[in-house]
Amino acid sequence: MRHFLTLKDFTKEEILEIINIAVDIKKDLRAGVYKKQLENQTLAMIFEKSSTRTRVSFETGMFQLGGHALFLSNRDIHLGRGEPIADTAKVISSMCDMVMIRTFEHSMIEEFAANSRVPVINGLTDSYHPVQLLADYLTMLEYGINENAVVAYVGDGNNMTHSWMFLAAKMGFDLRIATPKGYEVDSDVLKEALEIAKLSGASITVMNDPAEAIKCATIVTTDTWASMGQEDEKDERVKAFKGYMIDNEKMNLATQNAKFLHCLPAYRGQEVSEEIMDTHSEIIFNEAENRLHAQKGLMVWLDKQRNK
């Protein structure tokens, strides 16, 4: 049995297996074909933070695969009132076939997984957002961009950045990260990613100058400056990130026909300008839709591992 907590635990081949299942599932859906690959299965979804895409894509995806999803907010279950994580994991995994968790500290999901009898999927922690990166890689491939990509990430060194680092390290593409001073990526995660990158030939570089990161990029991406849980720091972050907005001027530094990705939700006028969101809306909303297909691929893949 496998869990999906970070991309670090997956090989390039395994990531491609998941993506390939997703590609077939997307094709089938377009043709109106629904294969009940997870018939009678139940996915428990524990949300300790808000969500639009993650909730809708997992719940819809599970239904389309013939299963059922339960939305469990921490306001409704005893976890939010102090029931131990291990007890919660033992109980839920004795009744459900898979669990998806969105939470704060990454150690919470690790402890849950250690006590779970069924696969646990990371739907975002403070440190990582790996399901988003499955959708992002599917999107890159659909637009003909693969391991030759040069990805520029401009903004906060956060959960999205860390997951981009592991994706680049595993798949072998170049990632250039520009963050303001004081908002850099976690140094331990960087060390780990650089170790993995040695094997794939990926290059991961960190800097403080957005222009430097963007020049030569085939993909430019960013994320909110204040993640969930950092609402109190919003004003101070807006000041610290001055000059980091992706606008036409910055996008023009990238290669011709460079694409722009955003995991959403986007804050227009902060990390990205209105015009960039408008110009690149086709790929951005396809990226969002790909959450559905990529996660269906992931759930089918995890189920197959269990049955091996």
Tell me the torsion sign for CA atoms 195, 196, 201, 204.
negative
Residues of this chain, 105-134, that bind ligand CP according to CB under 6 A: 124, 132
Q: Pick from ligand NVA, ligand CP, none: which does 223 bind, CB < 5 to 8 A by kind?
A: ligand NVA
Pattern of binders to ligand CP over 250-279, x per CB under 6 A?
A: -------------xx---------------
Q: Which residues does residue 98 pair with via DSSP β-bridges, in sequence order?
A: 43
User: CA 258, CA 271: separation in Å to the nearest integer?
Assistant: 18
For strand 42-47 and strand 68-73, is the pairing parallel, antiparallel, or unpaired?
parallel
Of the listed 3, 55, 102, 106, which one is catalytic? 102
108 contact choice in ligand NVA, ligand CP, none (CB below 5 to 8 Å, kind-dependent): none
Among 11, 27, 36, 52, binds ligand CP (CB under 6 A): 52
Distance in angstroms (rounded) separating the CA atoms of residues 149 and 160: 17
Q: Which stretch binds ligand NVA (CB under 6 A): 64-72, 163-171, 180-188, 219-227?
A: 219-227
Q: Which residue from 187, 190, 183, 129 is spatially nearest to 165, judged by alpha carbons?
A: 190
Enclosing H/E stretch for 260: strand 259-262
Instruction: Please say whether the beta carbons of 241 and 158 come within 8 A.
Output: no
Contact flag: residue 158 with ligand NVA (CB under 6 A): yes
State yes or no: residue 221 binds ligand NVA (CB under 6 A).
Answer: no
Q: By rule CB under 6 A, what string of x and - marks binding of each residue 248-267 to ligand NVA?
A: ---------------x----
One character per residue 130-149, x = contact with ligand CP (rule: CB under 6 A): --x-----------------
Q: Which is nearer to ligand CP, 121 or 196 (CB)?
A: 121
- Strand-pairing partners, residue 68, are 42
Q: How far is the CB of 229 from ligand NVA (least distance, A)?
A: 7
Give the nearest distance from C-beta 265 to ligand CP in angstroms.
6
Instruction: Mention every residue, 6+ apart, whose C-beta is less than 8 A from residue 284.
Output: 260, 261, 262, 264, 266, 277
Residues numbered 45-74 forming contacts with ligand NVA, rule: CB under 6 A: none
- String of contacts with ligand NVA for each residue 110-129, x by CB under 6 A: --------------x----x
We find the least distance from the C-beta atom of residue 218 to ligand NVA, in angstroms, to be 23
For the question of residue 223 being annotated catalytic, the response is: yes
The minimum distance between CB 33 and ligand NVA, in angstroms, equals: 30
Q: What order do you get walking across the sheet with 42-47 strand by strand?
A: 68-73, 42-47, 98-102, 120-122
> Is the Cβ of residue 176 or residue 262 nearer to ligand NVA in the bound state?
262
Active site residues: 102, 129, 132, 223, 263, 291
